[in-house]
Chains A and B, each alone.
Chain A
Amino acid sequence: MKSFDYVAVTKPADAVRLMEPQFRFIAGGTNLVDLMKYEIERPDRLIDISRLPLDRIETTDAGIRIGALARNSDVAADPAITRQFPLLAEALLAGASPQLRNMATMGGNLMQRTRCYYFYDATQPCNKREPGSGCGAIGGFNRIHAILGTSEGAAKTQCIATNPSDMNVALSALDAIVQVTGPKGTRAIPVIDFHRLPGDTPERDTVLEANELITGLDLPKPAIPGKSYYLKVRDRASYAFAVVSVATRLAVENGRIQDVRIALGGVAHKPWRIVEVEKNMVGKAATEETFRAAAQQLVAGAKPHEHNAFKVQLAQSAIVRALQTVATS
């Protein structure tokens, strides 16, 4: 780890004003400090934002607003969240460990980096860490990697990394909106547009600019309330990232689907949602057949690698299981 300066701020405006390209915001530190230990991040200065007054969970007319510095464990235990958005609480509790969740913040979780082994090892080629150096995962160990939306063109831009967060998958299914402030003012970014596919610039995980600060998350009240479920498939029963996960919301009346959201984790560079597929399900019978057809459409065009071909099947089974679980609950 490289030596660094440290400054703590108490006002969001100060955080933005002090930010420079070689600096990093630090919130819970559970991801950033690891990255610094592995020399993946080598900031000159840390701007500690953990004391910003942005840790509240407030009920608004439109839904709930969660401050970017609210801790994952506090959000998961919040009565308003567990009542109105149990999907978020479930996804948060499925992630990491209690100790990590006590430190981890909502903003930090949104921004956590991929777990790709090659990204984490500074001696290995990685287009995300070092643009143009190549992709170690292609031809290497890629069991945990993406099957959808990958970037596989020129060697210098290839990337098959996944976004590892559980929370982000739930936020995607909840149509959450990310609130951001920066030198040019504030903006609101729907979470489905916040994370991006690697394209030609795998070094960019999100559309956030380096000097922008996440201030909060809005969870809009769904127009048609339904039920939800977070299904996480992992290699051990706890304290493991998802191999594949599904966050789903489903409203059924008289056996017909009224509204549905399906977001997939562990399969792409961002939570994987296809709005068209969801729209097409509306009005159809809430049966295994419908679910299976939707699952197929969601993974259509999957491009597996040597060790992750099983994810194509697993993702579909997980989608069907998750939808069935909601439909029968």
Chain B
Amino acid sequence: MAKKLIGDPIDRIDGDLKVTGRARYSADMKRPDMVYGVLVMSSIGNGRIRSFDTAETLKMPGVLTVMSYGNAPKVAGINKNKPSEVATDRVMSLFQDNKVHYNNQPIAMVIADTFEHAVDGAARVKVTYESQKPKPPLPAGRNNTFTPERLPRYDDQVDTKRGNLKAGLSGASTKVTETYTTPTQTHNALEPHALIAYWEGEKLTMYNATQGVSGVQKRISELFGMPKENVRVIAQFVGGGFGSKGATWSHVMLAPMAAKLVGKPVKLVLMREHMFGMVGWRSSTVQKMVVGTKKDGEFTALSHDTISQTSAFDEFAEPAGTISRMMYASPNMESTHRLIRANIGTPSAMRAPGEAPGVFALESVVDEVAYAINMDPIALRLKNYAETDPHKNLPFSSKSLRECYQQGAERFGWAKRTPEPRSMREGNELIGMGMASSIYPVNRAESTALVRIKPDGKVQVETGTQDIGTGTYTVMTQVAADVLGLSPDDVTLSAGDTRFPESTTSGGSRTTASTGSAVTQAAQAVLKQAKQLAYKDKRSPLFNVAEAEIVAENGRLQTKSDPRQGETFVSLLKRNGSKPLEAKMLSKSADEKDNYSLNAFGSIFAEVRIDEALGRIRVSRMIGTFAAGRILNAKTARSQILGGMIWGVSMALLEDTLIDPRTGRVMNPNLAEYHVPVNADIEEIDGFFIEEKDETVNPAGVKGIGEIGVVGSVSAIANAVYHATGKRIRDLPITLEKVLDYR
């Protein structure tokens, strides 16, 4: 069997299962005697529940009970249900009191023998409230902000200062000050949040659609006040999360509470409209940018002040200013983050949290500066290129942004662009070309993996990661196969279950860097054991060969100099009692973060075609070029960046959660009215990688690629819209009326 190499475009190992419908997601699971929960949601934005009238519901056939603040099991660890330093530990609504903090908050659950009975029963629950006027979200309240305790990533400061902004601005020949606004966006993963929870005595098992089985295990056990070992969380397949399944939200506690109350397994699947509020969203932002520049384009000052919104009962600050701190070599830089409180569900991380809205503002204002001083936008970026990280004052472990600009410009045909706005046209359409930088920091967390070489020469990898649709399962088998000189077909993976060694949450593009490093290290450790076994074994052809001389290839251990001198894992293990070899490794960052700034970079080039009379905007071409360390699988990697770029189109042109300020209610909570792109919106799109060898960044040599595709795409499109029309749209999404020609 031909060995498949790292980087090859290998098909997903779960592809067949998924396209044939055999992959079983959390909501596909069944338990004997299982009953169904359906949530009742608040219909006011602020106040208290005065009463529930459940008489009609309880009379319905099949209805077991209605769980609400009157009868919900008390939560032993309720003191843990408070704003936390851990970004994924959010305050939940657990029916412990009668407060309503936002519209569409879960306030009760109807539990019945069938889904249909539960749905019908939920509609018949009558609620009366003591209602107060809800505090509206942004743009209201922007003059009444407060400083957040922290940003979601523990090492990001809330405010920063470098040099002297004022002095920098007074030394500038041109100053650009603009405010950019972005809307509330809702993740809308295709798979709804869903779980099945059941108790066996003191032990709780949950099939749960989550980005982090171990995070859920920890959070649920601490809230129930029980040992972690008593909670098992399984997420065999997850249909997308984008951050919304990264935190443990209310429903993940409510289902096991309900299961306890009725003494049966409970299945709870959120309806699409329930997922607008209670499972997080990307906060709306108001971002003020100031750039001072000399005539030759050298930045003398840069500032980035962000206002975002949080809920009335928890705190999450969208970290939009963090990239501006380090992207350009401006000697003077200030950034702040402020919050307003509104009666809304708590915002959370959404694919490229902070980076997506923040870089939209940053790379838009840089484009505005380029026009203000009449300079090519790439030349301006190169003029201010940060050779080292000016914020951390550290060298980059690797940075190939220059190459990304250059190769992207070439592929795109940037030279054909005439810089003057409105200067390119074809038929009824104005043509615009825009570009922007992309970036995403490398995150890494602790992960553990076990690798076992079995007597039949096959390899088993166990790690409690989960595959949220990115291809993690495929890539983990590739990593192990690569170290052990096998084909990925010889490796099986056990994952998606807290029974396996603890692994990090899949978020912040960190899975491959974290769990991939753990698998790499565990595979290296077990390989070392195998080598030792061989060179210490008199009967082995490798007896007494130096360890460094032995390599693993094609299921064999052999010497570097003579591949014929060696033996297969099978024969080695057979002679040594047919026992498997295994190694378990906990992998975590060493001091690389103290000594280097770790980031993936990229460039995005976009072409738009705009029919001004009709306001129609098409993204006719888009090219992304990225440098993100070692690429383990060309196919899954390309899917990640194209998916990210399509998210960029979506954020630039379509997405908008309409929260009515009068009621705090979302008015478009469904996929017919909350728009994301369809196939017809995506024309020519392609993504490329520049291979980067970075041995510092982590043992796997990888940087995250899950989010970087989104980051620069938004501003590349907005900049292209300006180039096409001469209209600078600073308020997303760029809908048709914003470019419509009024005569």
Contact = CB atoms under 8 A, between A and B. Distances in A.
Interface of A: 1-3, 39, 115, 117-118, 121, 123-124, 136, 139-141, 143, 231, 233, 235-241, 243, 310, 313-314, 317-318, 320-321
A143 B741 CA distance: 17
Contacts of A143: 737
A236 B649 CA distance: 11
Given A236-B681, A237-B678, A240-B675, A321 B614 contact: yes
Interface residues of B, number: 36
Nearest to B615: A314
B120 A2 contact: yes
A91 B653 CA distance: 24
Interface string B671-683: 0110101111100
9 contacts: A3-B116, A3-B117, A124-B665, A139-B662, A236-B677, A237-B680, A317-B613, A317-B740, A318-B614
Contact of A141 (B616, B660, B679, B743): B660
A190 B654 CA distance: 38
B658 interface: yes
A117 B667 contact: yes
Given A2-B123, A123-B665, A139-B662, A115 B673 contact: yes
By secondary structure, the A interface counts as loop
Contacts of A235: 654, 675, 735-736
B520 to A, nearest CB: 42
B599 interface: no
B662 A313 contact: no
Interface string B18-43: 00000000000000000000000001
A124 B667 CA distance: 10
A313 B742 contact: yes
B713 interface: no
Interface in B91-141: 116-117, 119-120, 123
Nearest to A97: B678
A238 B682 CA distance: 11
Contact of A233 (B119, B615, B742): B615
B46 to A, nearest CB: 14
B668 interface: yes
A321 B653 CA distance: 23
B673 A117 contact: yes
A243 to B, nearest CB: 7
B614 A141 contact: no
Given A124-B663, A235-B735, A317-B741, 18 more contacts: A1-B116, A1-B119, A2-B123, A117-B667, A117-B668, A118-B667, A141-B658, A231-B614, A235-B654, A236-B653, A237-B680, A238-B678, A310-B736, A310-B737, A310-B740, A318-B613, A321-B613, A321-B614
Given A39-B123, A115-B673, A317-B613, A236 B678 contact: yes
Contacts of B675: 235-236, 240
Interface string B583-624: 000000000000000000000000000000111101000000
A234 to B, nearest CB: 9
Interface string B616-634: 1010000000000000000
A181 B201 CA distance: 63
A192 B73 CA distance: 59
A140 B680 contact: no
Contacts of A314: 614-615, 736-737, 740
Contacts of B667: 117-118, 121, 140-141
Interface of B: 43, 116-117, 119-120, 123, 428, 613-616, 618, 653-654, 658, 660, 662-663, 665, 667-668, 672-673, 675, 677-681, 735-737, 740-743
B721 to A, nearest CB: 15
B660 A140 contact: yes
B43 A123 contact: yes
A1 B123 contact: yes
A320 B428 CA distance: 13
Contacts of A241: 672
A233 B736 contact: yes
Q: Which residue, A139, A239, A241, A318, has most C-beta atoms of chain B within 10 A?
A: A239
Contacts of B681: 236-238
Contacts of A141: 658, 660, 667-668
A91 B241 CA distance: 36
A140 B675 CA distance: 19
Contacts of B616: 233
Contacts of A121: 665, 667
Nearest to B658: A141
A115 B120 CA distance: 24
Contacts of A238: 678-681
A297 B740 CA distance: 21
Contacts of B679: 238
B678 A239 contact: yes
Nearest to A318: B614
A136 B615 CA distance: 27
Given A141-B667, A235-B675, A318-B614, A3 B43 contact: no
A118 B511 CA distance: 42
Nearest to B679: A238
A290 B218 CA distance: 71
Contacts of B741: 317
B673 A317 contact: no
B586 to A, nearest CB: 46
A243 B680 CA distance: 17
B129 to A, nearest CB: 11
A239 B735 CA distance: 16
A238 B678 CA distance: 7
Contacts of A318: 613-614
A236 B671 CA distance: 13
Given A236-B680, A317-B613, A117 B120 contact: no
Contacts of A115: 672-673
A81 B227 CA distance: 69
A304 to B, nearest CB: 11
B740 A313 contact: yes
A310 B680 CA distance: 25
A283 B307 CA distance: 60
B657 to A, nearest CB: 11
B120 A1 contact: yes
B655 to A, nearest CB: 11
A66 to B, nearest CB: 26
A236 B619 CA distance: 11
Contacts of A124: 663, 665
Contacts of B665: 121, 123-124
Contact of B618 (A1, A117, A123, A237): A237
Contacts of B736: 233, 235, 243, 310, 314
Nearest to A3: B120
Contacts of A320: 613
Contacts of A2: 120, 123
Contact of A140 (B116, B662, B673): B662
Contacts of B662: 139-140
A313 B615 CA distance: 11
Q: Rank and list the top 9 A-B pairs by shortest CB-CB distance, nearest first.
A: A237-B680, A310-B737, A123-B43, A117-B667, A238-B680, A317-B613, A237-B681, A239-B678, A238-B678
B131 to A, nearest CB: 12
B607 to A, nearest CB: 16
Contacts of A136: 660
A2 B123 CA distance: 7
A15 B653 CA distance: 46
Contacts of A243: 736
A327 B680 CA distance: 28
A208 B574 CA distance: 83
Contacts of B668: 117, 141
A320 B613 CA distance: 10
Contacts of B615: 233, 310, 314
Contacts of B742: 310, 313
Nearest to A241: B672
B663 to A, nearest CB: 7
A68 B391 CA distance: 68
